[in-house]
Amino acid sequence: MALSEKDIELKIREEAKKALATGEVSCVIGWTTTRFPDKMKPFFAETEAECDELVWNKYCINGTAKYALDDRYPSKKFAIIARGCDSRAINRMLKDKQLLRENLYIIGVVCDGKENPICEECQHKNPLTYDVLIGEPVPEQIDEKRFAEVEAFEKLSPDEKYEYWAKQYDKCIHCYACRNACPACNCVECYADQYRTGWQGKASDRIQNQVYGLTRAFHVGDRCIECGECERVCPMGLPIMRQTRKMLKDINDLFGDYECGMPDDAMPVLGGYTLADPDEFM
């Protein structure tokens, strides 16, 4: 029988306490309540008493994995409550050598979706990487409409596409929330924070905004785990997933089925080069 939301919450607290009790884990990254009943926030439980503040409900939306980057060289392990998407984010950061597996204790939780539109497209409700699992694994599903929005967009003319994205990026305020929430954006120092002339301009104008959007799209293009956090956190409502999905669709078309953040995730396709690579786009 599937565990109820409350059962899962209690199991999370139990596993979190066990992890801290080993003395090898400094904190457990999960979610807790806010003063709004429909808003949960990321939470770092550092004591067994604080573990009782960890919650599990449909409003536990924020990705948990990226917070492990707050200390890339910790003296003790971090425990992370990880759904399928969080486990893909962890795999992404492990592959990028931003985290070490031995510094993580992963409490996987089978997730049936949150109050977040991207969850309707989720292909991995089961955590892909974990040390302990809460919940019974469910059959994985293929999202047949994964690239439907991109395919519809591809039918527009080049001018229409340009106008669409120009108008979208005119709204960008360079807050970098999309970058900060993204597990694939994990450089210690981002090019966008450089102040030298010739790097990312600081003016919020059409050209500089588009340079930022395009550069970020190519930086995450073959490393995006499709968690949707970039689009969810954008205060200006930019449809950022539409451009990352376009990159992923092209990669799928050119190189075959491709998903990022899998446990056997090999080198990202754009991170390597072979003479047999398709070159129709050159």
Q: Which residues bind ligand SF4 (CB under 6 A)?
A: 172-178, 181-184, 220, 224-230, 234-236, 238, 240-241, 244
Residue 137 or 235 with smaller CB distance to ligand SF4: 235
Give dist(CA 93, CA 204) in Å, integer: 30
Q: Are 84 and 36 in contact (CB under 8 A)?
A: no
CB of 83 to ligand SF4, least distance (A): 13
CB of 260 to ligand SF4, least distance (A): 8
CB of 241 to ligand SF4, least distance (A): 6
CB of 157 to ligand SF4, least distance (A): 24
Sign, Cα dihedral of 20, 25, 27, 30? negative
Residue 21 or 162 with smaller CB distance to ligand SF4: 162
Q: Are 254 and 202 in contact (CB under 8 A)?
A: no
Residue 27 or 241 with smaller CB distance to ligand SF4: 241
Residue 45 or 181 with smaller CB distance to ligand SF4: 181
CB of 227 to ligand SF4, least distance (A): 4
Residue 25 or 228 with smaller CB distance to ligand SF4: 228
Nearest to 181 by CA among 134, 225, 212: 225
Residue given tokens 């991109």 in the structure block: 150
CB of 173 to ligand SF4, least distance (A): 5
Retrieve residue 104's tokens. 């993580």
Residue 41 or 76 with smaller CB distance to ligand SF4: 41
Give dist(CA 10, CA 134) in Å, integer: 10
Backbone angles phi, psi at 133, to 5 degrees: -120, 135
Residue 131 or 259 with smaller CB distance to ligand SF4: 259
Nearest to 31 by CA among 7, 3, 50: 50
Residue 138 or 173 with smaller CB distance to ligand SF4: 173
Q: Which residues, listed in sequence order, are joined to residue 109 by a DSSP beta bridge?
A: 134
Helix (H, G, I), strand (E, B) or coil at 142: coil
b/e code 107-136 from CB counts within 10 Å (16+ = b): bbbbbeebebebbebbebbbbbbbbebbbe
Give dist(CA 64, CA 104) in Å, integer: 12
CB of 211 to ligand SF4, least distance (A): 12
Strands 40-45 and 25-33: antiparallel
- Name 126's Cβ contacts closer than 8 Å, sequence gap at least 6: 84, 108, 110, 137, 138, 140
CB of 25 to ligand SF4, least distance (A): 26
